[in-house]
Amino acid sequence: MAEGSAAIGRTVRAGMAGWTSGLRTCWAALAAGAVLGLLPRALPPALGFLGLLLELAATTLAYGALYRAAFGGPAGFKGLRWGVQEWRLLAVQVLVTVILTVVMAVLLVLVGAVVVGVAKSNAPGLDISSVDAWRAALGGPGALAASLPPLLSMAIMVWLFLRLSLAPAATIDLGRIQVLSAFGRTRGAVLVLAAAGAVLAAPAVILVVLIGYLRAIAGFAEGTLIPELVSVALVFFYLIPVWTAALVDVYRVQPAPTPGTLRT
């Protein structure tokens, strides 16, 4: 327990230390990413499909600058640069998204099957078109059984996300795309990453909740500019830098997996 606590503390300290240095050396790339991150909110509905592409480009700009700075890559102007490292990071983001989406789809099917099975066992004559019938079928003794699969699925998704979280660092460090080949680098580090991530994200979460509370009091409409600006600024000028620095620290202390294996 003491060793795990020390590792969490070290990772949190590395994240906070990397925050200030990341802002100092990569502020232009982070600002450009923030601007790109805001653009999807201004797109007309007909061009909504471009939102995901813009968000991927925005986060790739930010992550690329921070990872290049961490591993001694080309600096660009205060981190602002789009080169081969960014293309590799973009590929990693797309591949990780595809993996998570496929796993999530499989889990949704399994969860749906379990929920339907529980509902049918509680109410053999279940009217699937009635919300009240579903509520009654999943209430009482079936409530616990029906709630466990979604919670387990969420835990699996978080675990998989964390197991793949060192793929960008490995990609920049090794100079080639790493996704499943970086899976083994997080062996034994999932709890450290989860705990450190929760601690590092806590200030942003508190601020977002406070903004939501103030928005409700002030009567701001959903999508008001100022709250949107604050949210995007939090992502690009706090969350991305501290999380990247924390991941780089974990990557450097984790042993490399044996070539050709996942070392699960």
pLDDT for the residue 126:
60
Ranges of the chain with pLDDT below 50: 1
Q: Is 0.85 surpassed by the pTM of this model?
A: no
pLDDT at 62: 94
Helix H segments across the chain? Answer: 2-38, 50-70, 84-122, 131-137, 142-163, 167-174, 190-218, 225-234, 240-253
Question: What is the predicted pLDDT for the residue at 134?
Answer: 58
Boundaries of every domain in the chain? 2-253
**Residues paired with 77 in a beta bridge:** 80
What is the pLDDT, as a whole number, of residue 124?
64
Q: How remote is the C-alpha of 243 from its chain's centroid?
A: 10
pLDDT reported for residue 4: 62
Per the CB < 8 A criterion, the answer to whether 233 and 34 are in contact is yes
